[in-house]
Amino acid sequence: MTQRSSLETVAFIGVGTMGGIMSRRLLEAGHRVRAFDPDPAAAERAVARGAEGAESPRDAAAGADVVMLSLPGPEVVEEVVAGSEGVLAGLVGRGVIVDMSTIDPATTRRLNTRAAEQGSFFLDAPVSGGVTKAASGELTIMVGGEAAALERCRPILASLGSNIVRVGPSGSGQIVKLCNNMLVAIIVAGLAETLVTAAKAGVDARTVTDVVRISAGGSWILDNHLPLTTFADDYTPRFSLDLLYKDVSLFGGMADGVGVPVPIAAGTEEVLKAARSRGLGALDQAVVVRMYEELAGVRVLPDEPPHASGT
């Protein structure tokens, strides 16, 4: 398999928030993009940006050099790839499927086998960086699968990410992504607990974070995410609590499958579940702070007006 330098036809399936941004970047790079999304409104937005429309994943994949996926979970990915109207039914020859969703490694390996049976390739290529890095083309892309297939797709992926790393064979990208997002969830929950505790004990949360930021407890989430969410009192979803909970649940299943006890992960999953039960799931992951504020009867930023659950 040789690397091509010419611009190619890319089928992009799942052109909602993240997929919409990534498919737009491919269009801007000069690629021909054929888009499909189960949500007709998302598909229409992609067409308005210059993509060609498709009637199904099978239709989108027909004649494509590379098929990219950005979908919400493993069941949807499996149906889109292997269903009767799926990608494998439309892909001809040695095509490459690049799954940028976050799913479990077992589903990835199963789909990799299905693709290989008909002479195609399946890469798991989940991303990190959120909508901000997606818009600037600076995502981190962690890739599992055949090295030659990655090199075949690297010129396309280079329009989307500044850090493209092959981390191992099929499923490895998903393993790394689930570990990353599990750590994110632990940090989010830990920040919520500590900041609310500090506020209840009488120290302003901004003072706490100013010190922690330059101390051993600092983190990317604290430096980059909380200023846009908790400290702006804005929980517009950059990465929703529902999606984080999905990833944490997948991590737990993965850990159970390999026989590793993960009590911290299990406790964090319960925290996220409790926040979702309060109607906060569609909001940004940092909204966990709001749940702790309500339980403690204190605001992290006391000068801000009170808020209600689910808003």
Q: How many CA atoms lie within 13 A of 50 on its CB side?
A: 13
Give yes or no: 177 in active site. yes
> How many angstroms separate the CA atoms of 89 and 114, rounded?
11
Helix, strand, coil percentages in the chain from 3-state DSSP, rounded to 5: 55, 15, 35
Query: How many Å is the maximal CA-CA distance in the chain?
Result: 65
β-bridge mates for residue 128, sequence order: 140
Nearest to 37 by CA among 23, 16, 9: 16
Residue 149 tokens read as 């297939």
- Strand boundaries in 183-277, DSSP class E: none
> How many angstroms separate the CA atoms of 143 and 163, rounded?
10
Tokens 């890469």 sit on residue: 123
Q: SS3 letters for 169-189?
A: CCCHHHHHHHHHHHHHHHHHH
Residue 76 tokens read as 């949807």
Q: Identify the active-site residue in 177, 200, 246, 273.
A: 177
What residues are labeled active site?
177
